[in-house]
Amino acid sequence: MQFSNDFLWGAASASYQIEGAYLEDGKGENIWDAYCQESGHVAHGENGNVACDHYHRFREDVKMMQKMGIKNYRFSISWTRILPNGTGAVNQKGIQFYSDLVDALLEAGITPMVTLFHWDYPYALHQKGGWLNPESSDWFVDYAKVVVDALSDRVTYWMTINEPQVFIGCGYAIGKFAPFQKLPVRDLAQMCHNVLLAHGKTVKMIRECAKKTPKIGFAFSTPCTTPTDNSPLAIEIARQKSFAFTRERFTFETAWWADPIFLGDYPQDAYSVLKSDMPNIKEGDMELISQPVDFYGVNIYYSQAEENPNAYVENDYMGCPRTQMGWPVTPEALYWGPKFLFERYGKPILISENGMASHDWVQLDGKVHDPGRIDYMKRYLRELHRAMQDGTEVMGYMYWSIMDNFEWADGYDKRFGLVYVDYRTQERTIKDSGYFYQTVIETNGETIF
């Protein structure tokens, strides 16, 4: 058994998590740069100042990807490397870095897939109110246009925003990620609306300005709920929970973000639940937000269930397998998540992230043996293949991540990569899973069965 002939196999990364080169070559400060310098936010007081030093080692990293047989590489652009103050003067050295990266990828036979925003918001704009500022969506479009003007002669695949559920929910609702704030519901709702406007306006701009015919989407996370069994009732309950709306967790809810894009309005439950805390929706906003996209990019790691303080949740059980993050191993999430999304929104699904953190180290033979990750990939990809066989249109799979990197508030302890990074020396070692993924790509998925 194989995947479709045009299936996109690849791996992903994010600028702040791998690039390093803190304030180098004219780069401005983003909120992670700023708040990682404060104590108490990140494990061990770590930061992304150096990270994987990808800024200086990208050519080496691209050659490594080529050796691994990677066909598509999803990476993000650092907004403040392009516009140090978020708006205004363009940093040509920043543009040159990404232009050189794209050229290196193409020369290696790797398709670049650009994410315009992966959480590293300009600190100068944060000081002006950030996503709460009514001008924030226009700031984003102006930044995105600089990137599109520079790269769209060679880049086809564009993702506007990565996981708004997380950078809004964790950054401004529960205070776990930069800028580590806890804002009231009304402010959160308005922020979300402005992020959606930024997405829609940018989709429109890319369509108008791209030099190559673009394929546009985003990379959302999704609180995928899987059925407790295969009965029609259990499936329907899981579907409803996957698109539920609650006041307590509305910033994380799939329908809150995706319904405006695909269905032209917020879910009806939002109006009755949030009431006067709904965002200020101006005439024409929903039309802008619902600009047509080409695919639904989604980051899925595990299925989620209602928390129960007195017992295990539905997808957990005593002694269940867990990744280094503590997340349950639930391969069926890659069947039901794409299936539910495709049924509701009707767009091809791109798995823009999936992978696991594991306790990896270089062993006595000089290699990194990670059989748990190989088993994880087999299980999840089998479920994805099953979804495709049952009619879900899936265009590709991006493993997260190409290499170990800065895992946000967890610092460098959690290792998601196909490539091991020794942060003291920056030496890279391809893990067993990296070589396994090479065979998956070479055989178009046949080796997972």
The set of catalytic residues is 163, 353
- Cα–Cα distance between 393 and 435 in angstroms, integer? 27
Q: Which helix (H) or strand (E) holds 76?
A: strand 72-76
> Which stretches within 210-312 are classed as H helix?
232-242, 254-262, 268-274, 285-289
- In the structure encoding, which two tokens stand for residue 226, read together? 């899987």
CB proximity list for 366: less than 8 A, separation 6 or greater: 429
State the Cα–Cα distance between residues 65 and 104, nearest whole angstrom.
Answer: 11
List, in order, residues 6 or more apart from 255 with CB less than 8 Å away. Answer: 243, 244, 245, 267, 269
Give 230: exposed, middle or buried? Use CB within 10 Å, 0-12, 13-18, 19+.
exposed
For residue 232, whether the previous peptide bond is cis, meaning omega lies within 30 degrees of 0, is no
Helix orientation angle between 371-389 and 333-345, rounded to the nearest 10 degrees: 40
CA distance 312 to 326: 14
412: Cβ contacts below 8 Å, ≥ 6 apart: 43, 44, 46, 404, 405, 406, 423
